[in-house]
A and B are shown apart, each in its own frame.
Chain A
Amino acid sequence: MPLTDQSPLRIVLYEGGDAQPLPADERFAALTALLDKGFAVTRLANQGAVAPADPSPILILGHFAGGHPSEPSGSREGVPIRFQNVAALDPNRIVELVEAARLETHAAKPGEWKPWFPVIDYDRCTNCMQCLSFCLFGVYGVDAQQKIEVQSAESCKTNCPACSRVCPEAAIVFPKYKSGPINGDVVSDADLAREKMKIDISALLGGDIYSLLRDRSEKARSRFSKERDSNKALQERQKCLAKLAQAAEIPPEVLMALPSPEEIQRRAKEAKAKAQAALARQT
């Protein structure tokens, strides 16, 4: 099921009204345990406001007076609501109970995938389609107005920031990247100059990154067939690709998992055609 079709379980740690506040250490331990397991928690106390409810199922955790929830589990305006008394419960036990409620409500399972994907800074993006043309994995597409957008975040290869390297405007952000401006830090003139330099480096490596990949891969394949030594061939392929991986910061595992040269060529052509068609419709 696509990520965007999955509904999460909303967890509310309720400490207002007739519920008693949890001891500070218990509250912090419970919050940390739930967040570490990928759950979102709304802490509802007597002060401050939180966002209103939405159609997601709700699980209300708390230390309820008399050991019982103040309201029976059920549904309100079609939203399933459950209560769970967590007074004096171990954080791991709370996580187990929350996970059980998630399963019962068929809510999305968090943490199934490391959320690594590009985010477009439309203040900087010029809709040049370089990213669409470059990405082999179908992450990018265009909307009805021919504007570039991320259409399949989950297709992005974890820890690979290569498309941000080909963006001439430094408009592609990977929030979990280690350094700026790719991580979302402010873009300076020096960054833009550096980005251009990196594109030049890839040109020096062979002009077309995919041609280079194909050549390297074919050479490696040829050696493999002659020597029939898979370990040696693999070592050679890794050595050849290391230089490329360093230039574009493509993780070696992404390069090693690339499809056959023919498939790379097909996908590259497809991506390029999509980008050219989108550019043509803009004019």
Chain B
Amino acid sequence: MTAPPRILYCHCAYAQIVPGEVKAAVLRKLSDSGVSFEAVADLCELSARHDNSLKRLAQGGAVKIAACYPRAVKWLFTAAHAPLPPKGAEVLNMRVQSAEEIIAALLNPQLSPNLPAGKPNAADAPVALARPLAETPEAVAPTT
């Protein structure tokens, strides 16, 4: 049995960019949940320090992170020489998602990795658009 993903919560303490009510609600639910988690005052500060805790977090298996945009979080960890595992990290964005949505995802043992993987290209297009013409249902089973 694989261990459930670890949880990291960023309080973004030095700026008012994350709605206060979202931060408070996420922290409150985590605090009341009975699960273990890491809470940091500010991921940016840890990244600037190249803090060892980011390496511990990145290298310890699957992790769910409540912070801000996945692209920002991915590169904050990389800047600290602690790259997140591309298929082992799920970032919840407290700048745009609701507290309910975030807490449901954090406490769900299923991981939905969502780190951006490079510049968008044809491979990132929706499956229906990316699929070669010959594989489309119309091409495989032409109407008579």
Contact = CB atoms under 8 A, between A and B. Distances in A.
Interface stretch (A25-33, A210-218, A221-229): A25-33
Given A45-B34, A115-B42, A176-B15, A184 B72 contact: yes
Interface string B25-47: 00110111011111111111111
A123 B31 contact: no
A4 B60 CA distance: 22
Nearest to A2: B49
A168 to B, nearest CB: 13
B27 A47 contact: no
A209 B35 CA distance: 52
Contacts of B14: 38, 111, 114-115, 176
B68 A184 contact: yes
| Interface size band for A | 35 or more
B109 to A, nearest CB: 10
A169 B60 CA distance: 33
A40 B34 CA distance: 18
Interface stretch (A51-59, A62-70, A262-270, A271-279): A51-59
A6 interface: yes
B117 interface: yes
B31 A121 contact: no
Contact of A31 (B39, B60, B73): B39
A183 interface: yes
Question: What is the predominant secondary structure among interface residues of chain A facing chain B?
Answer: loop
Contacts of B13: 35-36, 38, 111
A176 B49 contact: no
A261 interface: no
B76 A175 contact: yes
Nearest to A29: B31
Contacts of A220: none
A142 interface: no
Interface in B37-79: 37-53, 55-57, 60, 68-73, 75-76, 78-79
Nearest to A182: B72
Given A49-B6, A50-B38, A173-B72, A31 B48 contact: no
B75 A42 contact: no
A4 B49 contact: yes
Contacts of B41: 34-40, 110-111
Contacts of B47: 115, 119
Contacts of B19: none
Given A8-B53, A40-B40, A175-B72, A120 B117 contact: no
Contacts of B53: 8, 10, 40, 51, 54, 56
B125 to A, nearest CB: 14
A123 B119 CA distance: 6
A24 B34 CA distance: 10
B39 A121 contact: no
A232 interface: no
Given A8-B49, A38-B41, A51-B57, A43 B36 contact: yes
Contact of A175 (B28, B39, B50, B69): B69
Contacts of B119: 123-124
Contacts of B32: 24, 28
A116 B17 CA distance: 13
Contact of B79 (A54, A113, A150, A186): A150
14 contacts: A8-B53, A31-B27, A34-B41, A40-B40, A43-B30, A48-B4, A49-B36, A51-B38, A114-B15, A115-B48, A119-B75, A124-B119, A173-B71, A176-B15
Closest 6 CB pairs of A and B: A184-B72, A184-B69, A51-B56, A115-B44, A48-B36, A175-B72
Interface of A: 3-4, 6-8, 10, 16, 24, 27-28, 31-32, 34-52, 54-56, 108, 110-111, 113-117, 119-124, 150, 153-154, 173, 175-178, 180, 183-186
